[in-house]
Amino acid sequence: MDDPSLPLVRLAEALLFRSSGPMSQTALARALGQDVDVVAIMARVGERTAGLGFELVPAGDGWMGSRHESVLYVRLE
Which pLDDT score is estimated for 38? 95
Neighbours of 48 (CB within 10 A): 16
Which pLDDT score is estimated for 69? 56
pTM: predicted TM-score of the whole model, two decimal places: 0.78
Across 21-30, 41-50, 54-63, 65-74, least confident range:
65-74
Which pLDDT score is estimated for 71? 45
Which pLDDT score is estimated for 76? 52
Phi, psi (rounded to 5 degrees) for 21: -155, -170
Q: Tell me what percent of the residues of the chain surpass a pLDDT of 90.
A: 47
All structural domains of the chain: 6-67 (1.10.10.10)
